[in-house]
Structure 1
């Protein structure tokens, strides 16, 4: 991951996010809660409102608003295809990543039998753990866990060849920890899964706003993310390899389409939300250079990554220098998203967040963030979890300094 200093058009970026003009307690809000849901880019807001203002229509109609809805969905699939480097026909939408994963797990489970195995990790958000565990319980499968090394704050791959074996059907791994930011090297999982004929399921919800993704190059079979984490609406996204998707048998109504990707999209979709996906992805492209949208997306993400990492380093160093503050993070040699989890000695994380909001207009969140197993392993759940601060391309150096100063004052008090 790049961390070199680069010129970044922060003013241009901030102008695209209306929420940044919101005041609280007579100060502009500093949003550090992006890992739980980013602010929405103006072009996506306008697309959502525009769809509703023009008059929406359901699919397969013989009138313009229906045709327009189908075109919007097609454009959204195409944009996601460029974002993740997949085929548009491999992209399905849903209420959120969790709902899609439950549906996919139940569908795949029809092909499994008692004695088969699945692999999950202690690092992951429960959305890439519990759907697989529930399916395993229903089908009599064995669940195996990749443990976290509590010293390095990374996954322990020592027993990977034993954990992923000839009985393994699913290997579910998050691309990055939504709690502490550790970026996971998927290559060992992909190589081992391929060797034994297992499917690799990657949770990219936290990774997608910060890291370039290439599903096929990374040998991922099922990739999931959510547009509301990368400046768009609350829509879940699944990008499933065609050879897997065509044989998938999701639970659905008998009258629903039997072809992919539609067969996974149960019920009427959030059409107005889907209208906001393409503009959200094109936000990345607007910061990049290149002849194709994919090239511009990758270039834009490179600029964002360098900027966010610079701010994240500023934040990590500033917090670590405060006596009484403990930052939970992997070592300097481990790639991380710009997500910083910390605790303040003697003060419950939720109270830290409340003080930062009320006294400094800084919005940060507390808890285990659904990475509850990680919180248990690292021993923080009993004390309220972490305070989590996430950087976004609209974050500024001034906001980072305000957060550091605010935490210093909270510690003094």
Structure 2
């Protein structure tokens, strides 16, 4: 089972754009992916044909309601949820996490404990730190292991107690690329009686999420990281969210998930969200799957992982040849399944920004900096103002693009060293 990368790239108009005839190489994917034509078409179609607020009886408002319902069902299928009532859609993962942290905090008492990891993006750290400050909670930290690049079960176990109310976990790091065994970590946290909140923003573009299999209580992801529009999605276990009292307008719905979705939704973006899930279905069909939507999504991930991993290894191997360059993450080919194809590095004596500026000028799009992996760079002893060079592969990238990128990295580092 597989797909044609040329057929995939044909669905993404941005990949075929050029600046004065100069190609673009999109390796900024951890910060946001490009979208297929079907997503852009769905957004435009919604704005032009179903542009109305919700709750009325005329044709366009009814159609808008169907757009909203379909987006929730699509994401339920995408994440393996039991019901679309468990799907909460909002502006972005960080905003949703702030909202949910305040809602959960209603029931937390001074002296209660929350557990955070040094591997997480700030979107799954700052909301809980500020809640702890507001409510007098105790924060316990779990580092990641700098040989395995993962949060180890023993380290989490040592941070848990009978006062632990919530554990915030990272599925995959947006800087090191390493994937945590969130199912095993969740099991430990649940044995301690804690709620578990998983940030899957960086994992969802590259691996199948199954919330029921994980056993967590909440899981967040971002549609614009998996070929969709700028939206955040939060899954919450039905029995858990049904018992919560969110902050909301007095006269707004008390139903699920509406009570957690404040204000009028971005209906046109929800249309794009359904189309993004539809793209995964189409990718699964390209890989030969003819079953249910969930089956097609599963096949899409199997095919994309099989395609992305060799590209990631090609990138890692090519970077490893450069003297003074350190890859901040898993490099062992035998452990490739424990990382997503996001590869970050530092070079002794050369600032990441200077490398990225030069490569961006060559139309190779990638990032430098801490990338909001604030705790990660601090644990690694990397100056936050410098951070890393981050290269992120998606399944629409090609081996040729990785080759060109490696040539640029080698050339750029050599040039900068001569200038020192």
Answer yes or no: same fold by TM over 0.5.
Answer: yes
Structure 1 alignment gaps of length 5 or more: 1-5
Instruction: Decide which moves more: 120-129 or 193-202.
Output: 193-202
Q: Deviations over 1:150-204 (max 9, x none)?
A: 3332224334223122111111001000111000011332111221221111101
**Who is 1:353 aligned against?**
356
User: Does the aligned pair in 2 maintain the 1:25–1:361 contact within 8 Å?
Assistant: no
**Who is 1:49 aligned against?**
44
**Who is 1:167 aligned against?**
163
Task: Please give the root-mean-square deviation of Cα atoms over the aligned residues, in Å.
Answer: 1.4
TM-score, length basis structure 2: 0.94
Give the 4+ runs in structure 1 shifted more than 6 A: none
User: Does the aligned pair in 1 maintain the 2:101–2:128 contact within 8 Å?
Assistant: yes
Distance (whole Å) between structure 2 residues aligned to residue 384 and residue 171 of structure 1: 30
Distance (whole Å) between structure 2 residues aligned to residue 154 and residue 24 of structure 1: 40
Classify 1:320/1:331 alpha carbon distance in 2 versus 1 (closer, same or farther; 3 Å). closer
Classify 1:195/1:382 alpha carbon distance in 2 versus 1 (closer, same or farther; 3 Å). closer
The 5 Å alignment of 1:13-32 reads 13-24=8-19, 26-32=21-27
Question: Of residues 69, 74, 82 in structure 1, which corresponds to 2:77?
Answer: 82
**Who is 1:342 aligned against?**
345
TM-score, length basis structure 1: 0.96
**Who is 1:362 aligned against?**
364
User: Does the aligned pair in 1 maintain the 2:23–2:363 contact within 8 Å?
Assistant: yes
Does residue 408 in structure 1 map to residue 410 in structure 2? yes
Does residue 144 in structure 1 map to residue 132 in structure 2? no
Distance (whole Å) between structure 1 residues aligned to residue 98 and residue 20 of structure 2: 41
TM superposition shift of 1:25: 5.8
User: Does the aligned pair in 2 maintain the 1:367–1:381 contact within 8 Å?
Assistant: no
The 5 Å alignment of 1:97-108 reads 97-108=93-104
Distance (whole Å) between structure 2 residues aligned to residue 312 and residue 256 of structure 1: 47
User: Does the aligned pair in 2 maintain the 1:146–1:157 contact within 8 Å?
Assistant: no
TM superposition shift of 1:79: 0.8
Structure 2 alignment gaps of length 5 or more: 416-420
**Who is 2:214 aligned against?**
218
Distance (whole Å) between structure 1 residues aligned to residue 370 and residue 24 of structure 2: 24
**Who is 2:234 aligned against?**
238
User: Does the aligned pair in 1 maintain the 2:183–2:213 contact within 8 Å?
Assistant: no
Distance (whole Å) between structure 1 residues aligned to residue 382 and residue 21 of structure 2: 34
User: Greater helix share, 1 or 2?
Assistant: 2
Instruction: Decide which moves more: 251-260 or 101-110.
Output: 251-260
Question: Of residues 45, 58, 64 in structure 1, which corresponds to 2:59?
Answer: 64
The 5 Å alignment of 1:12-411 reads 12-24=7-19, 26-86=21-81, 87-288=83-284, 289-332=289-332, 333-334=334-335, 335-358=338-361, 360-382=362-384, 384-411=386-413
